[in-house]
Structure 1
Amino acid sequence: MNTKNQASDIHGKSYSRISVMLLILLATFAGILMQTSLGTAIPTLMKEFDINLSTAQQATTWFLLANGVMIPLTAYLATRVSTRLLHIIAYAILALGISITALTPATNSAWFMFLIGRVLAAIAVGVMMPLMQIVILNMFSIKQRATALGLSGLVIGMGPAIGPTLSGWILDQNHVIFGLTISNSWRTIFIIPLIVIIIALVLSPFIMKDVIPNKKVKLDILSLFYSVIGFGLFLLGFTNVATDGWTDVLNVISPIVLGMVLLAVFVLRQLKLEVPFLDIKVFKVKEFTITTITLILVTMAMYGVEMMLPTYLQNVHGLTPLNSGLTLLGGALMMGIISPVAGVLYNKVGVKRLVLVGLSIIAIGTVPFVFLSESTPTHIITVMYAVRMLGVALTMMPLTTRAMSALPTEMSTHATAANNTMRQVSSSIVVALLTSVTQNIMNTNAPNAALKTLDPIKYGAQSLTASMDGFRVAFAIGLSFAVVGLIIALFITNQKPETLEKDK
């Protein structure tokens, strides 16, 4: 066995870094598939459960909510609970959540059971995602982290695109693989992630080790309350924007405002506590704050196209969910291929140059989307999207690595939780912003309903124009995030990993 792969856990026992790394990547992949695979199955769920669109979208909304409110809690759990036990519990909850969802009777009255399964799965994924980064930060040296986090980009980058494509393929028709007939039922979507997470659960007691130092930290109940309710209300308000609009006081404005108030109280409390629930002081480190802000802008720029493109492809080009997913698959593969390479480049050239090049590629690659038309060839869109994802791959993991490396390892649990929380919140905001802006422009520029009867052809043409206006503005907003990110990135310190090692 290569001694470089050997390390000692907090009990002084030897273990294999690679084995632990492969296990958490395998399990996290199952979690991400659960997070993203239902997008193309919404119409099927509507038909099977006899529910409307807004009700079916709860499968995604409640997942995002439960996922978001769990992330800040991870800092406490990772500190208080042993690494191995926490992974086993998370994997078990995910397996339970997937099973409940897959076994839910297809009736209107049983929809709540489906949502319970989704919430349980989201709770597990909300712990697993930041926990993966914390484990990596504790297992590897600063110089090795870029490569390790780059490998995690294989999961984080490819999972979101593979999920919808895989679901579309499953729902398209029955498939025969190795002599076995794979049903096109919506339940089949959950088979692969369930098998993967069960394998991870069985292997965890033997492979997973306690690599995160633990200490007996008292749970501050008030902080937990402010965090869960504050983030929950804040994210709920933004998820309601798409259906209720920005002016809805009850469903949008009130939750957002109340959530912000509770979060402000949460922050003030953390600054006063001797042992904070979530250490906000990590943002006092300039390099951590700048790289985190840049990472947020990269995430928002990515969503600026990624979120709206499938709708454009299906509504304007008339593609099926499967074909629209296949159009984006090239970008997912690009993300998966380049993320590990980005880790190697980070070690050689440092973060600043890499991020400036990556954000420039994102910005340049987004410009053509601002000028899309209803006749833009699909293969051109595939190439442009892949170029953008090249830029995202060059920036996302290096920025995460630099943000974490700006702080001592003992602060990694709080830094990771803070970093992931900010990204989750920003993702929810940009989804709400783009959806509402696009829908508003479509509604404002939509032709008069009477024209549909008088001149159907002209009505269709004007409706298409209104849709394109909305999509172009959404893509332009995505471009603006990339440009602002490029400006912020100029203030990043271009230190290489070996320099950081010496500084510490």
Structure 2
Amino acid sequence: MTTPPDSQTAQPDPTSDKLDAGVLKVAGVVVLGAIMSILDITVVTIALPTFQNTFHATYAIAAWSMTGYTLALATVIPLTGWAADRFGTKRLYMMALTFFVLGSLLCSTAWNIESLIAFRVIQGLGGGMLMPLGMTIMTHAAGPQRIGRVMAVLGVPMLLGPILGPILGGWLIDVHWFGMAGWHWIFLINVPIGALSLILSYVVFAPDRPEPSETFDFVGMLLASPGLALFLFGVSSIPEKHTVLASRVLIPAIVGLVLMVAFVLHALRTDHPLIDVHLFRNRSLTFAVLTMVFFAVAFFGAGLLLPSYLQQVRGLTPLHAGLLIAPQGLGAMLTMPIAGRLVDKIGPGRIVLTGLVVIGIGTAFLTQLHADTSYGLLMAALFVMGLGMGCTMMPVMTAAIQTLTHAQVARGTTLMNIVNQTAGSIGTAVMSVVLTNLLNSKPLAQPAIASRFDPAIAKQFPPGALAAGFDQAATAFAHTFVVAVALVVVTLIPAYFLPKVKPAAPQDSADAPIMMGH
């Protein structure tokens, strides 16, 4: 299929080795939507104590505003590849944006914690599709020769979201505009950004030209979506229950695993499965998926530790903690564009290995945390970690997608986003359980942390005991970072097998950049 002559000039130039204006416009629109959806996750994390106080809910109940969003993401992501093929990426992207903005508006009107959780689910139904669809649209726009560079552009919100989220959240929660408390504005801010994204996506993205669709894998949907959601529900319950042996953890996780195994067996016998497991015949994608699994467990799991250390052990506000973590994003911003160019020229293998070694060096410093560790040294370690992250996350995504044909891109990005979401949830649960067990093993650690939020507890400590409690808590955080370092080292194994030369272009890439919207 080719583009009609009258619209040919509006399309990005697939023969160019540079990111021309057409590709940059597409990338800008996609990044705007990605920033909105990713920031929303971290901003709501900061707001959980506010939800507890406002709605008189326990932390476990308030946390469902996060869990409900995650489960909605898990339910809808498997459908994205088929729906993109069936309806076209532009149309589906605009629908996902609409759901996300509508959910945001409804969240701002929540009258109790139950209504907030329900509206967060609506938000997640849209948010789950934004990232895989954005990756598909950008890949089609740029063509196989420039995937590394456009993935580097999309990687900016993925790395900056966890850093800017606490800063933005800490600021918004403190404001009172038009008679509304700050927690309303963490959702309302999405409305103008989402409306702008809708207008720009309508103007900038190429028109959809859906082709005859494959048969919808209804059996696959009944197995994959609830299987993934149940598994993530079980995993997400681990921090609350403090053990993997709780029935609320084991039962849904095991049922979810059984459903996912059944889906894989079904998909291997189906020509057009909901999630294309046949893609694992592609060696580059297989090792990229394995690398992403271990990296996401380490990265997203460890990502929760330092903000908690800064607030619970050092007594900083969420805003100040977010500002201290900002050097990580600055480091990533420096190396990400360079890594993107190099991946397009020499392949992802050497770039990812270098990035993982640098991340390991930065994270190793955090295994030596104390209750009075210099903030300057902490920021330096985070900057080093950021330099490595800029060479890791999106080059791994590029390794998976670079060798896919145009027809496989939507399914490939869906698969990578499922892996990313699942591994991130596992990482968060693993690090939470390790940290909780280490804190519980130190008699003064938990009371010291509690004293940060209740001054009356601090008065109960004998002289010197409070400082000893913070030392014990810092040691627990430091030892948890040892697990993160170990996971980074394990990630080097699959990363070693990523392509160390630029892979050959996929066979049907000649018309891929022209067909941006299926």
User: Considering the TM-score relative to the shorter chain, is it more than 0.5?
Assistant: yes
Matched, 1:78 2:84: yes
Matched to 1:487, the amino acid is I
Matched position secondary structure for 2:392: helix
Evaluate the alpha carbon distance shift between residue 247 and residue 89 of structure 1 in structure 2; reply closer, same or farther with a 3 A threshold: closer
d(CA) in 1 for partners of 2:179, 2:154: 29
Matched, 1:429 2:431: no
Evaluate the alpha carbon distance shift between residue 79 and residue 312 of structure 1 in structure 2; reply closer, same or farther with a 3 A threshold: same
Matched residue, 1:177: none
Q: Contact between 1:37 and 1:166, CA under 8 Å: does it hold in 2?
A: yes
Matched residue, 1:492: 498
Matches within 5 A, 1:243-254: 243-254=240-251
Q: Structure 2 residue aligned with 1:38, among 40, 44, 66?
A: 44
Matched residue, 1:415: 412
Matched to 1:162, the amino acid is L
Evaluate the alpha carbon distance shift between residue 448 and residue 193 of structure 1 in structure 2; reply closer, same or farther with a 3 A threshold: closer
CA deviations on 1:197-236 (whole Å, 9 max, x unpaired) are 0111233333222468543222222211111111111000
Q: Contact between 2:173 and 2:181, CA under 8 Å: does it hold in 1?
A: yes
Q: Contact between 2:104 and 2:120, CA under 8 Å: does it hold in 1?
A: yes
* Displacement of 1:480: 0.9
Q: Contact between 2:242 and 2:436, CA under 8 Å: does it hold in 1?
A: no
Matched to 1:158, the amino acid is L
Matches within 5 A, 1:147-296: 147-173=149-175, 185-210=182-207, 214-296=211-293
CA deviations on 1:386-431 (whole Å, 9 max, x unpaired) are 2102101111111111111132221112211111111111111111
CA deviations on 1:354-392 (whole Å, 9 max, x unpaired) are 111111101111111011111101222122112102101
Matched, 1:98 2:104: yes
d(CA) in 2 for partners of 1:416, 1:450: 45
* Displacement of 1:330: 1.8
Q: Contact between 1:91 and 1:201, CA under 8 Å: does it hold in 2?
A: yes
Moved more, 389-398 or 467-476: 467-476
Evaluate the alpha carbon distance shift between residue 488 and residue 220 of structure 1 in structure 2; reply closer, same or farther with a 3 A threshold: closer
d(CA) in 1 for partners of 2:231, 2:146: 37
Matched position secondary structure for 2:353: helix
Q: Contact between 1:182 and 1:188, CA under 8 Å: does it hold in 2?
A: no
Q: Contact between 1:446 and 1:462, CA under 8 Å: does it hold in 2?
A: no
Which consecutive residues of structure 2, in runs of 5 or more, have no partner in the other structure? 1-6, 15-20, 449-456, 510-518
Q: Contact between 2:439 and 2:445, CA under 8 Å: does it hold in 1?
A: no
State, as a whole percentage, how many aligned pairs show the same letter. Answer: 27
* Displacement of 1:135: 1.4
Evaluate the alpha carbon distance shift between residue 126 and residue 449 of structure 1 in structure 2; reply closer, same or farther with a 3 A threshold: closer
Matched to 1:273, the amino acid is T
Q: Structure 2 residue aligned with 1:120, among 119, 122, 130?
A: 122
CA deviations on 1:436-488 (whole Å, 9 max, x unpaired) are 11101111222599999996345434533442232122211110111111232
Moved more, 463-472 or 144-153: 463-472
* Displacement of 1:37: 0.9
Matched to 2:164, the amino acid is I
Matched residue, 1:370: 367
Matched to 1:415, the amino acid is G
Matched residue, 1:59: 65
Moved more, 481-490 or 198-207: 198-207
Evaluate the alpha carbon distance shift between residue 405 and residue 357 of structure 1 in structure 2; reply closer, same or farther with a 3 A threshold: same
* Displacement of 1:51: 1.2
Matched residue, 2:141: 139
Which consecutive residues of structure 1, in runs of 5 or more, have no partner in the other structure? 9-14, 175-179
Matched, 1:475 2:468: no
Matched, 1:401 2:398: yes
Matched, 1:348 2:350: no
d(CA) in 2 for partners of 1:455, 1:339: 48
d(CA) in 1 for partners of 2:494, 2:354: 13
Matched to 2:154, the amino acid is S
Matched to 2:432, the amino acid is T
Matched to 1:62, the amino acid is G
Matches within 5 A, 1:303-382: 303-382=300-379
* Displacement of 1:182: 10
Q: Contact between 1:78 and 1:212, CA under 8 Å: does it hold in 2?
A: no
d(CA) in 2 for partners of 1:327, 1:449: 24
Evaluate the alpha carbon distance shift between residue 195 and residue 336 of structure 1 in structure 2; reply closer, same or farther with a 3 A threshold: farther
d(CA) in 1 for partners of 2:201, 2:330: 28
Matched to 1:253, the amino acid is L
CA deviations on 1:287-319 (whole Å, 9 max, x unpaired) are 111122112222222224311110001011110
Matched to 2:91, the amino acid is L
Q: Contact between 1:99 and 1:194, CA under 8 Å: does it hold in 2?
A: yes
d(CA) in 2 for partners of 1:225, 1:293: 26
Matched to 2:345, the amino acid is K
d(CA) in 2 for partners of 1:474, 1:122: 30
Q: Contact between 2:82 and 2:274, CA under 8 Å: does it hold in 1?
A: yes
Matched residue, 1:11: none
CA deviations on 1:258-289 (whole Å, 9 max, x unpaired) are 11111100111111112211110111222111
Q: Structure 1 residue aligned with 2:470, among 456, 464, 469?
A: 464
Matched position secondary structure for 1:51: coil
Q: CA RMSD in A?
A: 2.7
* Displacement of 1:76: 1.2
Matched to 1:264, the amino acid is V
Q: Contact between 1:5 and 1:18, CA under 8 Å: does it hold in 2?
A: no
Matched position secondary structure for 2:433: helix
Task: Work out the number of aligned pairs and report it.
Answer: 488
